[in-house]
Amino acid sequence: MLRNRYHHLGWHHGIELFEAALSNQTFARHAHEGFAVGAIVQGAGGYLCRGESMVLPTGSLSLMNPEEAHTGHAAAGRVRYNMLYVSEVAVREVLGLRDLRGFAEIAPRDRGRKLTQALSRLASCLNVAQTTDQRLVTEEAVHDVLAQAFTHYGRAELRRPGQEPAAIRALLDRIDAGVATGEIPTLTDLAAGVGLNRSYLIRSTVRATGLTPHGHVLRARVNHARRLLLDGTPAVEAAITAGFCDQAHLIRQFRRHLGVTPGALIRH
């Protein structure tokens, strides 16, 4: 049975994610200090906000500006939604924004379900076992949610990603070194190391390589495990040494990156 979960990222600007599965619970009129960015996953939610009674069906977004008073309840028996709570300072920091105008519409339809999916990915990464790259993948997931929300619905303009060959080469070297030692740097560490804003670094890395920084961590782990296996290291040991949760995790990533399982790797 699904249950409510509330995640507090004390290490990342105090950003919070509420995974809600509600039926009888109601929320009295209240407001949040920061922005609330949410998506209805199942059922329908209800608000009284801006003097209007609103019903938010599946596929709707819920976008609240700071200090915007509203109520809340399940409008159709049961409602499931994911809601990110984030301060204005945190939005500016994560996205590298100076101008931040907020949301004009409270409950727009989610075009292509992109923001719904981004929130679900964030929830998924917060519900898995802690790994050495947990902070990096979480930072990227938070960035994805905020970038989707504020560029598509908050009229924000992010700096265009540019050609940053030296910075990206340094980032890849840092990632390879971290995988080799078992110490994966956070996105904050990577950005500070190359002197770029975190949001700009993610988007420039994707533009240049097709992968996010965390995508390169997975690539480096597969390559590290491959070298260990070729040196005769048992698969279980190779998986743990390369930073995978277990052998099954290694097998999944091997298939994605190389098209074969570790057992199909043949040394001549």
Each residue's pLDDT tens digit, 156-170:
999 999 889 999 999
Domain boundaries, the chain: 5-152, 164-268
Q: Which residue has the higher pLDDT, 23 or 60?
A: 60
Percent of the chain predicted with pLDDT > 70: 99
- DSSP label of 128: S
φ, ψ of residue 127 in degrees (nearest 5): -105, 5
Mean pLDDT value across residues 180-196: 91
Mean pLDDT value across residues 209-214: 96
Mean pLDDT value across residues 232-260: 91
Mean pLDDT value across residues 46-74: 90
Q: Which residue has the higher pLDDT, 26 or 105?
A: 105
Mean pLDDT value across residues 200-224: 95
The three-state secondary structure class of 178 is: helix
- Per-residue pLDDT, 2: 67
The three-state secondary structure class of 50 is: coil
Closest among 146, 75, 158, 145 to 117, alpha carbons compared: 145
Neighbour-count burial of 87, counting CB atoms closer than 10 A to its CB (0-12 exposed, 13-18 middle, 19+ buried) = middle
pTM of the model: 0.90
Mean pLDDT value across residues 229-248: 91
- Per-residue pLDDT, 73: 81
Percent of the chain predicted with pLDDT > 90: 74
pLDDT at residue 196 greater than cutoff 70: yes
- Per-residue pLDDT, 147: 97
- Per-residue pLDDT, 51: 84
pLDDT at residue 1 greater than cutoff 60: no
Q: Which residue has the higher pLDDT, 131 or 176?
A: 176
Q: How confident is the model at residue 80 (pLDDT cuts 50, 70, 90)?
A: very high
Tokens read off for 140: 């990227």
The CATH code that applies to domain 5-152 is 2.60.120.280
Specify the amino acid at residue 21: A
Q: How confident is the model at residue 74 (pLDDT cuts 50, 70, 90)?
A: confident
pLDDT at residue 84 greater than cutoff 70: yes
- Per-residue pLDDT, 130: 74
The three-state secondary structure class of 170 is: helix
Mean pLDDT (the chain) is: 92
How far CA 11 is from CA of 90, 121, 124, 188, 248, in Å, comes to 12, 19, 18, 11, 30
- Per-residue pLDDT, 140: 97
Q: Does domain 164-268 have CATH number 1.10.10.60?
A: yes
- Give dist(CA 202, CA 209) in Å, integer: 11
